[in-house]
Amino acid sequence: MSASAIDYQIMWNRLIAVVEEQATTLIRTAFSTSVREAGDLSAGLFDRQGRMMAQAVTGTPGHVNAMAESVTHFAREIGAQNTYEGDVFITNDPWLGTGHLHDITVVTPVFRKSVHIGYFACTAHVVDIGGRGFGPDAGEVYEEGLLIPIMKFADRGEVNTLLVQMIRANVRTPDQTVGDMYSLAACNEAGDRRLQDMMEEFSIDNLDGLSDFIMAASRKATLEAIAKVPDGTFKHAMTVDGYDAPVDMKVTLTVDGGSLKADFAGTSGMSKFGVNVPEVYTRAYACYGLKCAIAPQVPNNSGSLEPFEITAPEGCILAAKRPAPVSVRHVLGHLVPDVVLGALHQALPGTVPAEGASALWNIQISARASDPDSGLPNREVLMFNSGGTGARPSLDGLSATAFPSGVKTMSVEATEHVGPITIWRKDLREGSGGAGEYRGGLGQTIEIEPRAGYGFFFNAMFDRIENPARGRDGGGTGAPGGVALADGTKLRSKGRQWIEPGQRLRLSLPGGGGYGAADARDTDKVRADLAAGYITKEQAKSDYGLID
């Protein structure tokens, strides 16, 4: 059958449903709370060249856009001559996958009538992959856990049992980690079944024509959107906390007709610790920030990503070289959109939000029995938390919301279920949003205590403490974050630390920056904020001039 443009458009729409069911399968079968509760995953369909045709709405930009590159590595490394029905490929290589060892990417070749026609791929964050655990303290990637090169998890339907044994012997959570690998494979299988049904319905036996249509239409629409951005060179810089020293992140955005380039030259060099970012992850989040502002209505695929040219000098902290430690690459990676949007604001004023907390306040907890002879088991707990987003040109920022990652926060109940901790407090942090005509989103205050018989190590990986989110166009700065015990004793914002039995860890998450001058805010909104506990009486008076 010769398909028309209308046929292709209908099939394109159907692909979104196919990959969304693929992602839903992963959520329903995953072992780790980071996947089933927070949605820290991605899923997508790729043509046989490795081009991403469609991605699930469920998922993070860091996973999705990095995976758009990684499938081409699988296609090259495995080779068509070694690709068979029943194969399942796997890697967690940070430079060929999605930026750190805790992300496992699984790719499954798709066959129809015994002919290879494409790939399904998915990525998920696993709770443990060995080594030092999820934290920034390592000096080399070798310390951060087990690196799985691009290889076959299953060969013609036969699972590589030696690989499974190696993984089980090297991680603290063998059932969870291996279980998630099987969930990733099952996710791709579910996508394959739905794709085969669709292809049967439309009487097609390959994806070549549909993929070419998707790439051409998406590329054209994106180029048209870029052409509406005024030409020019726009520079922006942002200083963030880093680990042992502040990090300068700089970008030069060059727009020339339909061409858009973002170059991170001038950015600080690599760190000795695991806050370094492989360039694939930098590109993923830079593209995401720019695409959100310039072409938000164009579906995300290889065609719509191609027009964005993102570069960073090799060896800077946003283009880390092997064997740099990269475990918490999300801390700086999630701040990349704030940098590129700051530059874009000069070209498109009144379009992009103020800076936000941005980087997730993930916390990895390793619960240990206070009496080693008690027989109480060790437990690993991963918890995702979010500060406030920056205010928008015509709306307040969102409170306790993950931007740019888009993940959800695990519920208190689900988190307490997997480990011996009690979360005593988890509420919005009064007064943490930056003042402005539009107020920044609020952070949170969270208090965590080990249960009886336990203490815990926690890996801190927090930013926006020394360098809080800046407002835009006269908006105020969001409140900085803080890490302390409940009694006020300050703790470090990065690195492994111990919480004694009976102590409570208090996390004060940062707020987003405000937008516009505070004296322009509607008085009724100020009163509503005060009544809701979003701002203090002192802020109502000092920031907004409310005296009644």
Q: What is the pLDDT of residues 497-533, one digit of tens each?
A: 999 999 999 999 999 999 999 999 999 999 999 999 9
Q: Quote the DSSP letter at residue 316.
A: B
Would you give per-residue pLDDT tens digits along the chain (548 residues)? Answer: 567 889 999 999 999 999 999 999 999 999 888 888 888 889 999 999 999 999 998 888 999 999 999 999 999 999 999 999 999 999 999 999 999 999 999 999 999 999 999 999 999 999 999 999 999 999 999 999 999 999 999 999 999 999 999 999 999 999 999 999 999 999 999 999 999 999 999 999 999 999 999 999 999 999 999 999 999 999 999 999 999 999 999 999 999 988 899 999 999 999 999 999 999 999 999 999 999 999 999 999 999 999 999 999 999 999 999 999 999 999 999 999 999 999 999 999 999 999 999 999 999 999 999 888 888 999 999 999 999 999 999 999 999 999 999 998 888 998 999 899 999 999 999 999 999 999 999 999 999 999 999 999 999 999 999 999 999 999 999 999 999 999 999 999 999 999 999 999 999 999 999 999 999 999 999 999 999 999 999 999 999 998 77
Angstrom distance (rounded) from CA 8 to CA 211: 9
Angstrom distance (rounded) from CA 503 to CA 273: 28
Instruction: Pick the closest to residue 543 from 466, 529, 443, 389 (CA basis).
Output: 529
Domain ranges of the chain: 5-219, 353-548
- Identify residue 85 by its one-letter amino acid code: E
Q: What is the pLDDT of residues 249-275, one digit of tens each?
A: 999 999 998 889 999 999 999 999 999
Tokens 């494979």 — which residue? 185
Q: What is the pLDDT of residues 489-503, one digit of tens each?
A: 999 999 999 999 999
Cα first-last separation, the chain: 73
* Rounded to 5°, angle at Cα 112 from 210 and 2: 40
Q: What local confidence, expressed as pLDDT, does residue 4 receive? A: 85
Instruction: Pick the closest to residue 353 from 304, 398, 390 (CA basis).
Output: 390
Sequence-distant (6+) residues with CB within 8 A of 499 are 448, 449, 450, 455, 456, 457, 458, 485, 505
Tokens 């570069």 — which residue? 311
User: pTM above 0.85?
Assistant: yes
SS (HEC) of 55-99: ECCCCCHHHHHHHHHHHHHHHHHHCHHHCCCCCEEEECCCCCCCC
